[in-house]
Amino acid sequence: MVTPVPVTDHALALVADGDERSARSALAKTTQDPRDEWPPHARRLYEYLTALYGEHDVLPTLAAAWLVHQRSDGTRKTYAQNFKIMESYVRGLGNHPLAMTFLAADAFANHLKKLPTLIWRDGQRVPEGPPRDDATRHNVLSACSSFFKFTLQTKAVPKERLDANPFDGVLYPAIDPLFTRTEGLTEEEYVKLARTARDEHPCRRTAFRLYVLILVLYYLCLRIDAALGARIEKLGYDKGHHVLEVQIKGGTWVQKPVPPFVWHAIQTLIAGRTEGFIFCTSTGNRLDEPAVWRAIRATARRAGLPQKKLGPHSLKHSTITHALDRPGARPDKIQHWSDHKDPRTTQRYNQRRGALDGSPAYEAAAATAGLLESS
């Protein structure tokens, strides 16, 4: 049996005072608007929808909460873009998105086949680009289905208004799981791109930063959002290796080994800084992703490379292809390095897959052709 500890009047007063402070603190937390902690993409989507439907409509809050529910900022960004495509279509028909039916969702899927993409023209984004390919349309429909699945889980909309996911049963585009439209580089082209960024970039102030970013994307096998989100505080040393801990697609944190010359380049770039983004502007802010795309494409043109739509993701595709093509390649290690859960994803990045040179057909012919000719 536990003997109770006697409590004096003074101690009771202190406990009461402490309880009061604790209660005030708890009350402040419970009365705080949860929107104050929403990430930027959720807040922007909420403001966009509120301007259209008003503060008393449940749609802005549901859509923003749906984005908050996603694991990574990259997913939130893509889902917000895809949601706006669906919302605009439904609103154009004079309907409310939460009144979406299966027939309307099916019509939207067909609408995507001919809907032009937005391109930059005279400083504005105009719908004059080609229609979305099968993979992109698949992603748009998946995002819309995810929103309605989330909405049904919240039970925030009465069943008489929304009783099922309208995108259940919609026929998604049939896509090859190994297909990719990303352009790749040979090893020689990669070296030429990196050298051009370092030595021939017109802005010397940002030339070395772009060069180091190209090194990190290639040798650490990273997507652009992970590289731009990398922080100095996450640089370290583990079991004889320089390492960088980064957050990858899906919100998972992984540790990447950093080759010595890449580590030296990073240290030169950060120049003694001990915190903040590795790749940042002069004010310390994170680099803008579209600006990096433009810089890499401009560098590719300056280097005389033939690719038309080369971008940051081309570097990840290329380094995986080169790794798989080297003698003694270990697909399991390359898959882990690539941060892929499924080996089929790694093969989709392998742009040598299906190459005619090195085809088993030649080895098969060499082994049997002589026997056939001599018979």
Tokens 């088993």 -> residue: 360
Q: Are residues 213 and 77 in the same domain?
A: no
Per the model's pLDDT, the better-predicted residue between 349 and 265 turns out to be 265
Tokens 């802010």 -> residue: 285
The pTM (predicted TM-score) of the whole model is 0.64
Q: Structural domain tally of the chain?
A: 2
Position 226 in a domain:
yes
Residue 31 has pLDDT above 70, yes or no: no
Position 290 in a domain:
yes
Q: Are residues 232 and 283 in the same domain?
A: yes
Q: How much of the chain exceeds pLDDT 90, in percent?
A: 59
pLDDT of amino acid 366: 72
pLDDT of amino acid 241: 93
Q: Are residues 76 and 119 in the same domain?
A: yes
Which strands form 241-247's sheet, in the order they lie side by side? Answer: 235-238, 241-247, 253-257
Instruction: Report the C-alpha gap between 59 and 150 in whole angstroms.
Output: 12
Q: Are residues 291 and 220 in the same domain?
A: yes
Q: How confident is the model at residue 359 (pLDDT cuts 50, 70, 90)?
A: low
Position 321 in a domain:
yes
Range with lowest mean pLDDT among 13-17, 121-125, 241-245, 259-263: 13-17
Distances (CA, A) of 294 to 205, 213, 254, 297, 309: 17, 14, 28, 5, 10
Q: Are residues 192 and 150 in the same domain?
A: no
Q: Are residues 144 and 197 in the same domain?
A: no
223: domain CATH number is 1.10.443.10
pLDDT of amino acid 42: 94
Report strand pairing: 124-131 vs 235-238.
Answer: unpaired
Q: How confident is the model at residue 103 (pLDDT cuts 50, 70, 90)?
A: very high
Instruction: Report the C-alpha gap between 298 and 275 in whole angstroms.
Output: 30
Q: Are residues 128 and 193 in the same domain?
A: no
Give per-residue pLDDT as tens, 206-252.
999 999 999 999 999 999 999 999 999 999 999 999 999 999 887 88
Q: Would you say 193 and 300 are in contact if contact means Cβ atoms under 8 Å apart?
A: yes
- For 287, the token pair is 């680099």
Q: Are residues 145 and 57 in the same domain?
A: yes
Q: Are residues 329 and 224 in the same domain?
A: yes
Position 27 in a domain:
no
pLDDT of amino acid 3: 41
Instruction: Report the C-alpha gap between 184 and 311 in whole angstroms.
Output: 9
Position 61 in a domain:
yes
- For 243, the token pair is 């390492």
Q: Are residues 297 and 211 in the same domain?
A: yes
Position 18 in a domain:
no
240: containing domain: 187-349
Instruction: Report the C-alpha gap between 291 and 52 in whole angstroms.
Output: 30
Mean pLDDT in the chain? 85
Q: Are residues 89 and 149 in the same domain?
A: yes
Residue type for position 84: K
Q: How confident is the model at residue 33 (pLDDT cuts 50, 70, 90)?
A: low
Q: Among the residues of 56-186, which ranges form H helices?
A: 58-68, 73-92, 102-111, 134-154
